[in-house]
Amino acid sequence: MGFEVLFKGSNMLRLLSGMLVALRISLISVLISIVFGVALGSLMSLKKPAITVASKIYLEFIRIMPQMVLLFLVYFGTTKALGINMSAETASIIVFSLWGTAEMSDLVRGALGGIPAIQYESSYSLGMTTFQTYVYVIIPQIIRRMLPLSINLITRMIKTTSLVMMIGIVEVLKVGQQIIEANRKSSPNAAFGVYATVFLLYFVVCYVISMFSKHLEKKWKN
Amino acid sequence: MNAEVLISYFPLYGEAFWLTVRIGLIGIGLAFVIGIVTAFFSYFKVPFFSQLSKVYIELFRNTPLLVQLFFIYFGLPKIGIRISAEVCGVVGLGLLGGSYMAEGFRSGLEAVPKSQTESALALGMTRGQMFFNVIFPEAFSLSVPAIVANIIFLLKETSVFSAISLMDLMFTAKDLIGLYYNTTEALFLLVLFYMVMLLPVSILGNVIEKKVRFKMFGA
């Protein structure tokens, strides 16, 4: 069935290190997205017309374009238009951060908008300063609402990183391809075993993370 | 940007556009069917099938379409299952979408109050009648926002079809860039055609969502 290829030499290790490349790209992008997403989301909830319009356009464009198109735009487009020669990994981190920021800011805006006005009023009437209100009352509630959703974003990010092989990054799918090519003679059925393994690798990683987010969601449901 | 180049590329993109739309629509149709069937199984807790659909949903929700397509297109022929690229695209999109649709329908079904089930049964309906005439229509309107989001998601996902050498928009753009190096024009048309495909769906989705919400809370 082609699974035996994985036990030859260091093939399984190579596959796993390919998975790590995908995970590294998505982790860096998620961290950047959280920082910018929180900033943009807070700006959006100020409801200043100029900010609202600009962020709407940004959000709509990013969310409507397939991530693959964005990858091509940044990787091939900037090279030609601006003469910048960036590595494929930089390009993919930029794209995933742009996309993640859009998704994250929408979550932050939703969470901020979902806090009832009573929460602010009660804190103020208890004599809290604005700073205290946010630190002790509002932000803890927002984190509770957002954490499960942000963890979901991580799994979506990991799944989307499979696209980066299309701009030439050697991640788990590409490593799989290389292993299949190299063993074409000795095990012609390698494609089945290798791709099944890649499938399961992605499944294990994303399943564990999404179980964790479901667990948090249930625990904090109050 | 060169207008002549744009015009000469246009028909190529048009062809790719129709291919994407055609496979996308058939795939989404298949996703609907799979989603409804699996939601039906898990709602009635049909033995064996409900467990099977749970495994299926988790497997396909937690893996990327590109990996699924590689497995179906390059992996399965090695154990004797050989299908064309187009069928593979439809099946891949249908399986991925089915798992997302099933989740959408499931949350809709869960939101239908229990009194609806009880009233339907009290009126002497069979369980089948109850599901298809009472519960499902209500659940469907509750799941509309999720369904619209899924349709947009699935149309976007069609962009990975180029990996199994289907001549879709992405493939055309990549091909033209490689052949003539008119990167700006090729990418501009790529964005334009995806806009034409997805913007109406997105706007229509917003309208439908508002209508449904009005029906739920208004009147």
**DSSP-assigned states of every residue in chain A:** ---GGGGSTTHHHHHHHHHHHHHHHHHHHHHHHHHHHHHHHHHHTT--HHHHHHHHHHHHHHHHS-HHHHHHIIIIIHHHHH-----HHHHHHHHHHHHHHHHHHHHHHHHHHTS-HHHHHHHHHTT--HHHIIIIIIHHHHHHHHHHHHHHHHHHHHHHGGGGGGGT---HHHHHHHHHHHTTTT-TTHHHHHHHHHHHHHHHHHHHHHHHHHHHHHHT--
Burial tier of A187 (Cβ tally within 10 Å: 0-12, 13-18, 19+): buried
pLDDT in tens, B145-167: 888 889 999 999 999 998 888 88
Domain membership of residue A38 as a residue range: 4-219
Quick check: B183 contacting A, CB < 8 Å? yes
The amino acid at B157: E
The total of other beta-carbon atoms located within 10 Å of residue B180's CB is: 13
CB contact under 8 A, B190 and A72: yes
Q: What is the pLDDT of residues B21-52, one digit of tens each?
A: 999 999 999 999 999 999 888 888 888 999 99
Q: What angle do CA B167, B9, B179 make, to 5 degrees?
A: 70
Q: How far apart are CA B42 and CA B101, in angstroms?
A: 13
Q: Residue A80 is encoded by which pair of tokens?
A: 């030609």
Chain-centroid distance of CA B29 in Å reads 8
Q: Output phi, psi for B113, to 5 deg.
A: -60, 150
pLDDT for residue B216 = 56
Render pLDDT for B171-213 as a digit per residue (tens, 0 to 9).
999 888 888 888 888 899 999 999 999 999 988 888 887 777 6
Give me the domain span that covers residue B78.
Answer: 3-217
Whether the pLDDT of residue A172 is over 60: the answer is: yes
CA distance B61 to B95: 9
Least trusted range by pLDDT, from A80-84, A100-104, B2-6: A80-84
Q: Secondary structure of chain B in the HEC alphabet?
A: CCHHHHHHHHHHHHHHHHHHHHHHHHHHHHHHHHHHHHHHHHHCCCCCHHHHHHHHHHHHHCCCHHHHHHHHHHHHHHHCCCCCHHHHHHHHHHHHHHHHHHHHHHHHHHHCCHHHHHHHHHCCCCHHHHHHHHHHHHHHHHHHHHHHHHHHHHHHHHHHHHHHCCCCHHHHHHHHHHHHCCHHHHHHHHHHHHHHHHHHHHHHHHHHHHHHHHHHHCC
All residues of chain A having their beta carbon less than 8 Å from the beta carbon of residue B59 are 203
The more confident residue out of A188 and B201 is B201
Q: What percent of chain A has pLDDT over 70?
A: 99
Inter-chain CB proximity A159 and B74 less than 8 Å: no
Task: Tell me which chain B residues have a C-beta less than 8 angstroms from the C-beta of A64.
Answer: 152, 156, 194-195, 198-199, 202
Residue B80 CA, chain-centre distance (Å), reads 27
**Model confidence pLDDT, tens digit, residues A90-117:** 999 999 999 999 999 988 888 888 888 8
Decide if B58 and A207 are in contact by the 8 Å CB cutoff: yes
pLDDT tens, position by position, A38-76? 999 988 888 889 998 999 899 989 988 999 999 999 998
In whole angstroms, what is the distance from residue B156 CA to residue B198 CA? 8
| Number of residues assigned to chain B | 219
Handedness of CA A101, A106, A110, A112 (dihedral sign): positive
B74 contacts on A by Cβ (under 8 Å): 180, 191, 195
The single-letter code of the amino acid at A174 is: K
ipTM value of the model?
0.86
Q: Which residues of chain A neighbour B67 with C-beta distances below 8 Å?
A: 162, 173, 195, 198-199, 202
- Are B109 and B43 in contact, with CB atoms under 8 Å apart? yes
Using the Cβ of B66 and the Cβ atoms of chain A, whether some distance falls under 8 Å is answered with yes
Return left, alpha or beta for B80; rule: phi > 0 is left, psi -120 to 50 is alpha, else beta. Answer: left
Minimum distance, in Å, between the CA of residue A6 and any CA atom of chain B? 15
pLDDT tens string B99-133: 999 988 888 888 888 888 899 999 999 988 888 88
Count of domains for chain B: 1
What's CA A15's distance to the chain center, in Å?
21
Q: Is the pLDDT of residue A4 over 90?
A: no
pLDDT of B218 over the 70 cut: no
CB contact under 8 A, A69 and B66: no
CATH number (domain holding residue B57)? 1.10.3720.10
Kindly determine whether residue A81 and residue B173, on different chains, have CB atoms separated by under 8 Å.
no
| In the predicted structure, residue B219 carries a pLDDT above the cut 70 | no
Contacts of B158 in chain A (CB under 8 A): 66
User: Treating both helix axes as pointing N-terminal to C-terminal, what angle do B85-111 and B136-157 enclose, rounded to 10 degrees?
Assistant: 140
Determine the residue type at B162. S
CB pair distance less than 8 Å for B66 and A165: yes
Task: Tell whether the model's pLDDT for residue B215 goes beyond 80.
Answer: no
CATH number at residue A79: 1.10.3720.10
CA angle in degrees (0–180, nearest 5) for B47-B50-B52? 105
A-proximal residues of B, 99-138, CB under 8 Å: none
Identify the pLDDT of residue A222. 61
Pull the structure tokens for residue A191.
Answer: 């494609």
